[in-house]
Amino acid sequence: MQKRKLGKSNLEVSAIGLGCMGMSFSYGPPKDKPEMIKLLRAAVDRGVTLFDTAEVYGPYTNEELLGEALEPFKGRVVIATKFGFDLSPHLDARGMKAAPGVDSKPERIRHAVDGSLKRLRVDAIDLLYQHRVDRAVPIEDVAGTVKELIRGGKVKHFGMSEAGAKTIRRAHAVQPVTAVQSEYSLWTRGPEAEVLPALEELGIGFVPYSPLGRGFFTGKMDANTKFDAGDFRSSLPRFTPEAMKANQALVELLGQIAARKNATPGQIALAWLLAQKPWIVPIPGTTKLHRLEENLGAAAIALTPVDLREIESAAAKIQIQGVRYPERLEQMTGH
């Protein structure tokens, strides 16, 4: 597996990482724990060194899974986790359990880090992201708290997720940011306007999540696809039957390139991301070994300038239907 450095930080990781959320959270019921431990260790065997989790995934159970699975590989892998949500139980106006709101108060960050260290079974968190910007807490206070945690030996690198360019600059001035994680793929290209240029200027790495369009780019979904009740894609505007039917044009484009390259549509989607910048490290998620191997195979696919121009030109003509999140969740991004 090829390696890449996340910006100027000298944090070197595999060119493709592994997003672990779906093993415990968001995509239907949690998967079988022994099977997921086996999969995580298979990923290490195949050269993956960047594993992505978060306190809120479960909550807590995804970090516990990684802690158990990756404990034998201490020092050989990089585990990234995230803070930034209030996970104390709340009820909404109807008396139902409410979704967690953002919370990046300094005491909350310190509490989250202590919990993550225990669950991950590590002495220091390799890469700690603020999961979502908290507009109630100045970003300088957040970065300053992480700076103290780095000085105290509990954290090695600071990251941000779904932050806007101005906020990244303000945080970076207090504590250098190693990586920014945001959604980025052929159907979510918002970071290109301001975030990617800022990261290039500041020497910050970029870690795209959902690089396969939450599985859509694999070509295994269509307007007839039905999602489990616990699968959060059932609530996303891009995954209505009408939107999936309209957005098939993008999968067909990937399929055309894939046929020429003896590859799969998903591999072309990942190879396209890798070709954008040498400091981009996508983290596709999966719960299946054959899919893991397919994803990792994308690192060996070289797209020529002609291929990239063809993808760019054809993608520009495709009107993506459906925003990526319902409004409540979209409000948490891009500050």
**Residues recognised as catalytic:** 57
User: Other CB atoms closer than 10 Å to residue 246's CB: what's the count?
Assistant: 17
Q: CA 216, 217, 219, 223 torsion: positive or negative?
A: positive
Q: What angle do CA 69, 30, 291 make, to 5 degrees?
A: 70
Q: Which of 250, 272, 232, 220 has the alpha carbon at shortest distance from 319?
A: 250
What string of DSSP letters covers 39-101? HHHHHHHTT--EEE--TTTTTTHHHHHHHHHHGGGTTTSEEEEEE-B--S--B-TTSSBPPPP
Q: Is there a contact between 116 and 63 (Cβ–Cβ < 8 Å)?
A: yes
- Exposed, middle or buried, 46 (CB in 10 Å: 0-12/13-18/19+)? middle
Q: Which of 171, 179, 88 has the alpha carbon at shortest distance from 126?
A: 179
Task: Please enumerate in sequence order all residues whose Cβ is within 8 A of that of 308, keeping only pairs 6 or more positions apart, or say none.
Answer: 272, 275
Query: In whole angstroms, how large is the CA radius of gyration of the chain?
Result: 19
Local structure of 273: helix, strand or coil = helix
Q: For residue 128, what is the DSSP state?
A: E
Residue 328 half-sphere exposure toward CB, CA atoms < 13 A = 7
d(CA 1, CA 299): 7
